[in-house]
Each structure stands twice: as C-alpha cells, then as structure tokens.
Amino acid sequence: MRDKEEQTFIIMKPDAIQRSLFGEILSRFERKGLKIIGVKMVKISDPLLEEHYSHLADKPFFKTLKNYMKSSPVVLMVLAGTNAISATRLIVGPTKGYEADAGSIRGDFSLSAQSNLVHASDSPETAKKEIKRFFKDEELFNYEKPDYKFVYSEKFF
C-alpha cells in the first residue's frame, strides 16, 4: 500500500468508558504515532446513531446495538497519520472480540460481538462521511508535533 496522510474517525464506546479502558486504548493509538486532531465527549442522539449504523438497520441486533451505544456517554475522536485508516483498524482488531488476535484492542479486552470497545472507520470514503457527521470544521485542529519526522521516516528524505 502506498503511504498517504489520512484522517480516521474513532468512537470510544460505552464499555470503554464504563470499564475505565479509555486511557489504555488512547495510549495505544498515541504510542503508534497517530495524532489526535479532534476529541469530545457526547451522548449520541438517535438520528445520528441510526445514520451511523444504517448499514445494519435490518440486522436482528440493531435494537440492542442502539441501546448499548446510548447506555453511557462516548468519546469521539479524529486521528491523523500515515495510512491512519487501515493502521487503526489493525490496532482495533476484527468485530468479534472473541475472534480478535491478542495484541489488538478487541483481542485483549473484549469477549463480545457487540461490546467491542471501539469504532474505527473502515475505508477512506467512510472516514470522510463519519468525520463530517460528528465534527464541525472548527472542532478539528491542524498542528505540528515534534516527533513527526521520527514517526514518519520518509520525512528525512
């Protein structure tokens, strides 16, 4: 895959907050070198939730998914970095926690197909739509970090 600067959308789901895993999970994204360019705590409204999970509207678990996602506040984030979308999905792991590899967030902390701690955009098209759905332009920050040239080696050349 070619290197490209990307932005991806993350939700720290209710179980991440309730199980006090927010810091642990955030730390994994930070240590990877992803840059936080937006962050806020919200309770997601029904219309936004239905839009966000519209691809699952006909699934039998849709109702419990909505109840789960509304059961506590969540933290929304936009992360930036080289190949940020696919790199973040690798750190998060596949949907079902009991099938996810050890070392991934879901593999290390989830045994559930629903309460799997984190949402992460699955493609550049989805990321663009999701960021626009949940963040205003003025809630996103463009800033330099001193570790940038070490995280992205091509910056030396």
Q: Exposed e or buried b for every residue in 55-92, given b needs 16+ CB within 10 A?
A: eeeeeeeeeebbebbeeeebbbbbbbbbebbebbbebb
Query: Environment class of residue 107 by beta-carbon count within 10 Å: exposed (0-12), middle (13-18) or buried (19+)?
Result: middle
Which of ligand UDP, Mg ion, none binds 114 (CB below 5-8 Å, type-dependent)? ligand UDP
Q: Is 52 considered catalytic here?
A: no
Binding residue for ligand UDP, selected from 49, 113, 140, 151, defined by CB under 6 A: 113
Q: Decide if 54 contacts 48 (C-beta within 8 A).
A: no
Q: Which is nearer to Mg ion, 11 or 80 (CB)?
A: 11
CB contact at 8 A, 52 and 70: no
Residues numbered 97 to 136 that lie near Mg ion (CB under 5 A) are 122
Out of 105, 119, 120, 131, which one is annotated catalytic? 119
Residue 65, contacted partner among Mg ion, ligand UDP, none, CB below 5-8 A by kind:
ligand UDP
Whose structure tokens read 């509207």?
A: 57
Site string for ligand UDP, 13-52 (x = CB under 6 A): ----------------------------------------
| CB closer to ligand UDP, 83 vs 152 | 83
| Cβ-based burial of 36 (10 A; exposed 0-12, middle 13-18, buried ≥19) | middle
Query: Applying CB under 6 A, which residues contact ligand UDP?
Result: 56, 61, 65, 95, 113-114, 116, 119, 122
